[in-house]
Amino acid sequence: MSDDAQTPRLLLLDGHSLAYRAFHALPKENFSTQTGQHTNAVFGFTSMLINMLRDEKPTHIVVAFDVSRVSFRTEIYPEYKAGRKATPPEFLGQVSLVKEILDALRIPYVEKAGFEADDVIATLATQARAAGMEVLISSGDRDALQLVDEHTTVLYPSRGVSEVWRMTPALVEEKQLVPPHLYRDKAALVGETSDNLIGVPGVGPKTAAKWIIEFGGLDGVVANADKVKGKAGDNLRAHLASVIQNYSLNALRTDLELEIRPEDVRWHGWDREAVHQVFDALEFRVLRERLYSYLEAVEPEAEAGFDIDGRALGAGEVGPWLAAHAAAAPVGVAVTGTFGRGTGTLTGVAVATGDGPAAWFDPAALDEADERAVADWLTDPDRPKVLHDAKPAALAMRAHGWHLTGVRVDTALAAYLAKPDQRAYDLNDLALRYLKRELRVEEPQTGQLDLLAGTGDEAAAEQNVMLRARATLDLADVLTEELSRDGGESQTLLVEVEQPLSEVLGEMEHLGIAADTVYLSELEAHFAAEVKAAQQAAHAEVGREFNLGSPKQLQEILFVEKNLPKTKKIKSGYTTDADALQSLFAQTGDPLLEHLLRHRDVAKLKSTVDGLLKSVSDDGRIHTTFNQTVAATGRLSSTDPNLQNIPIRTEEGRRIRRAFVVGEGFEQLMTADYSQIEMRIMAHLSADEALVAAFNSAFDFHAATASSVFHVPVEEVVPDQRRKIKAMNYGLAYGLSAFGLSNQLNIPTDEARGLMDEYFERFGGVREYLQAVVKRAVQDGYTATILGRRRYLPDLSSDNRQRREMAERMALNAPIQGSAADIIKIAMLRVDRALKETGLKSRMLLQVHDELVFDVATGEREQLEELVRREMSAAYPLSVPLDVSVGHGRDWNGADH
């Protein structure tokens, strides 16, 4: 290939070939959306495409697709490709998603009825060469090798979706033993199993290549067939008709009439908004980040940069600047530094005003007057500030000795409420999306940059922080307007719930929770010993050592040596994941499976303990980070470490909770959580009289509902009846099907269907509510919680049945789970306010789903419990009581209830 950068370079991709290869290279069970749509093919295709755009830098690009398996070749030879298996159902629908990706990337695609993608590619490649272009062809079909020449290279996937061979003429000859122009001749002799083209029996690539070279091509081989001796010669003469037909069928058409030509497909870059929509729907966060890193979006998406009249302030200048420019009007604030584990360190602060002036200062370089001025300004709630993701900045300011109040708009939280399904809320991206502006400074005024304190990289860094402050301020206006379009509910959520909660969460992150590191170390050693014991037991059962983490070795032992029933078929054989092994153990009771499952369980527990030990800070406490912008339903998540993932269903898992202990100087831990909150919300929203009555009765809720379904007194409900109805109660809120219920209860599907019918006969209001909520969501395109928190579900109108049905199940769940998230957030705000008003020294430390954890100060147990019960139960007026359960103990597990 030429290195001349001026030569146009056309990249041609075989869409079906690459997508199908990606489908088989990536485990489908690891790639699916929350709506149930498999995405392994589209993920792999997109990954390969991004890599090629980055590495090859084509000036022109087009993707070719097959229309169907019917083509002119099947007319000549009806058995063409007849041996291929039916398309896997998990692959169906992914080609249309690939096309959505291409639309977002502004990459054209073409297909021609009666012909294959190879023919389209061959035609465009021929036209491109005639026009003086260099050509790159990306395909997993070896027939494309016949197109290779000094100006045409095939990028042939060699391993999965991560590596390709650059098939130049020299490499084709090295690997295929013939030059590219004779590849078709060799293929006719060898045949192609995947295309059902029968070659000469007993003739492999080496023999075929030898004949091709010796006789000067296929014509020479045919003409000299009588000279080829032995069994191979006999087979050649007997199959000459098939060989000639193969040669005809292998020919790629180069003369198709297409709606586009190579010069029509110049690539100008991708559409950022369209990429957001399709990548959000497919949940491709990592690929989006790669796309941002490698490639530029189309222009003129960014209509401009920002006008910044900025300067770096020295000692004695910060106070006067704030007095002059940051008094009453909102100002944008951006900081730099290190953040995490409930604290942080500031290295720079920038402030920008709406009319232009901006400033940067180093917190470590302030004099006493400036320090006091900044502290007063930050603490004053009447001097409004706008920040992007205020919580880490506030924690870093706190470590410096400042207290941040008066946050008018947190643009990260505002963007989350506007688009809760978006996977990332990067400021640069939001500026482009909402402001059509890039985070860059327009041509600076003469001498402007000279006002910055540093030079070169330092000056650019200072300017960049001021730029972010200004962009945040401008973004706040646009987002505030957008949040006001739904009647103001989203704006109310931002101002009255999410932003105040950010302050509460910051306080909780700063406090952390005490950890017993000695106990954690002992627990780590215990689980390490259990891992080793399970490993040794498995080795003893097999009679030799093997790698318990190797699927290949496990497949050989389980399905070949022990001849156990086969599990689900996957590309590499039969699955050995935990669910499959658990099911297999239930069927067979094989002791090896018991050891394997035990090994996985204790290895996971050991990993959890290892992570907790590494997370303990110098103060002996673990400071998790609470995330408000991750779950589209509104639920909080926890990271570094994830304290919502501490296992509680097994005794060994609960042992980990014992490592979280009461803090020094405090009496004990207290836990408080809502009892059956999602079912209580279901009763409230459905207004089903029987369900409401069950909650208002003095009986156990699940027993009370079981009594209604099975028509027996509550006292006579047996455990099995309660278990079945409990599964129904919780499952209905998640769109539980009869099939799902049958699996969950291990009963026949007909019995599960009958149980559901009986349930709905007794609780008809629940069925009417579930039907109505989906119907309303289809009409509106979104669901809403009791506080108006919206969840947009575009797949409700999808042509893909699987995606549509999964979106409908999400529509059932989102208002209930989202309302539960709203209520616990309100409860946290009420509890925090009450703690401050009463002056109690007890502290709120953690939120885990519907549970709150507190350090109880000495002598405050009864008062704290009364306060928490009162505030949590009054968080939202439901038609049924919000029941709160409370427990106390020296550690988190001991405080369970």
Map out the domains of the chain as residue ranges. 9-168+253-264, 302-486, 513-622, 637-688+768-897
C-beta of residue 275 within 8 angstroms of C-beta of residue 288? yes
> What pLDDT does 3 receive?
43
Domain 513-622 indexed as CATH 2.70.98.60: no
CA distances from 132 to 129, 559, 597, 643 (A): 5, 57, 61, 60
CA 189, CA 4: separation in Å to the nearest integer?
39
Asked if CATH classification 3.30.420.10 holds for the domain at 302-486, the reply, yes or no, is: yes
CA 591-595-597 angle, to 5 degrees, is: 115
CA distances to 698, 737, 814, 883 from 880, in Å: 12, 27, 20, 9
* pLDDT at 449 (0 to 100): 37
DSSP secondary structure string for all residues of 465-526: HHHHHHHHHHHHHHHHHHHTTTSSHHHHHIIIIIHHHHHHHHHHHHH-EEE-HHHHHHHHHH
Instruction: Report residue 45 CA to chain centroid gap.
Output: 17
Alpha-carbon distance of 490 to 419, in angstroms, equals 11
pLDDT at site 691? 84
CA distance 249 to 857: 84
What pLDDT is attached to residue 301?
53
Of residues 476, 473, 467, 475, the one with CA closest to residue 440: 467
Give pTM, 2 decimals.
Answer: 0.73
Q: Using CA atoms, how far apart are residues 310 and 461, in angstroms rounded to an integer?
A: 12
Q: Which residues contact 589 (CB under 8 A, 6 or more apart)?
A: none
Using alpha carbons only, what angle is made at residue 867 by residues 865 and 871, rounded to the nearest 5 degrees?
120
Distance (Å, whole) CA 887 – CA 897: 5
CATH topology of domain 9-168+253-264: Rossmann fold (3.40.50)
**What does R_g of the chain's alpha carbons equal in angstroms?**
33
Spans in the chain with pLDDT lower than 50: 1-5, 299-300, 444-455
Contact 137, 147 (CB under 8 A): yes
Q: How far out from the chain centre does Cα 406 lie?
A: 33
Tokens of 454: 């540093």
Query: pLDDT tens digits for 239-288?
Result: 777 777 777 777 888 888 888 899 989 988 887 778 877 887 787 877 77
Rounded to an integer, what distance in angstroms lies between the CA atom of residue 750 and that of residue 681? 29
pLDDT at position 452 is: 41
Contacts of 446 (CB under 8 A, 6+ apart): none
CATH architecture of 637-688+768-897: 2-Layer Sandwich (3.30)
Q: Which residues of 437-447 are buried (b: 16+ CB within 10 A; e: fewer)?
A: bbbebeeeeee
